[in-house]
């Protein structure tokens, strides 16, 4: 797939990750010159400080979402400009890899927490194991949820996503006992409005973009 097949990307948020040091940056698409370069806003570092600035000549992997696809391509930093406004040029990608989000594609989640909002009960902190556009699996220390129960789940979104936490309606599908007193639950997302579907896609796109564990 080529970048011109993805439609209008102006303003789309992207995550850049350097291939050697694994430093991460956020930026937005400005545009591109076909077969020449990709133009992004000046990237902001997760760590901050000039010593963490992206440098010309570095190689990066660019991750972003487009039409429910988690897209990625490798590029080199060609030029960093400060006038008339801060922006950068990346080498033009010959091919873009993507993964179509489907209800059955489950993404393994590492170190992600969420809060269950249960009617007439205190909020319950849980750990997310995996997730898809259709639902998720989580673990917690309580067995107070019944199969078929309708509740809400609030995700503790990573700060780098720069979006507000999102609350999604879910239904408890199944439950079984894990090791060490841990309870495992399977939840299914109830029908979502377009804005919340977009938030869910953005969150899944973030998890897809994370480097694999060694």
pLDDT digits (tens, 9 = 90+) for 19-57: 888 888 888 999 998 889 999 998 887 555 444 678 889
Q: Output the CA–CA distances (angstroms, integers) from residue 161 to 15, 16, 46, 173, 199, in the order listed.
A: 9, 12, 11, 29, 10
Q: What is the DSSP letter of 147?
A: T
With residue 15 as reference, give the H or E element that holds it.
strand 13-18
Give me the domains of the chain, ranges plus CATH numbers. Answer: 3-100 (2.30.110.10), 107-209 (2.40.10.220)
User: Which of 201 and 50 is assigned the larger pLDDT?
Assistant: 201
Confidence of residue 172 (pLDDT cuts 50, 70, 90): very high
User: Which of 162 and 212 is assigned the larger pLDDT?
Assistant: 162
Torsion of CA 155, 160, 162, 163, to 10 degrees: -20
Tell me, what's the pLDDT at 91? Answer: 95
| Rounded-to-integer distance, Cα 25 and Cα 18, Å | 9
Mean pLDDT of the chain: 82
What does the pLDDT look like over 75-130, one tens digit per residue?
999 999 888 888 999 999 988 886 655 555 677 887 778 999 988 888 999 999 99
Q: What is the DSSP letter of 203?
A: H
Contact 126, 178 (CB under 8 A): no
């Amino acid at each position: 797939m080529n970048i011109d097949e993805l439609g209008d990307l102006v303003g789309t948020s992207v995550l850049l990750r350097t291939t050697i040091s694994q430093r991460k940056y956020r930026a937005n698409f400005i545009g591109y010159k076909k077969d020449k370069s990709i133009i992004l806003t000046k990237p902001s570092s997760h760590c901050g400080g000039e010593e963490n600035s992206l440098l010309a000549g570095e190689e990066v992997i660019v991750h972003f979402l487009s039409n429910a696809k988690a897209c990625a391509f490798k590029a080199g930093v060609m030029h960093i400009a400060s006038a008339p406004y801060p922006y950068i040029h990346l080498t033009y990608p010959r091919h873009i890899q993507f993964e179509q989000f489907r209800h059955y594609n489950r993404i393994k989640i590492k170190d992600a927490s969420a809060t269950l909002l249960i009617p007439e009960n205190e909020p319950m902190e849980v750990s997310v194991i995996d997730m898809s556009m259709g639902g998720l699996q989580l673990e917690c220390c309580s067995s107070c949820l019944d199969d078929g129960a309708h509740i809400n789940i609030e995700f503790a979104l990573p700060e780098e996503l720069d979006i507000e936490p999102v609350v999604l309606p879910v239904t408890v599908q199944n439950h079984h006992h894990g090791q060490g007193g841990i309870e495992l639950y399977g939840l299914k997302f109830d029908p979502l409005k377009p804005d919340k579907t977009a938030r869910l896609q953005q969150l899944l796109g973030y998890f897809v973009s994370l480097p694999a564990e060694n």
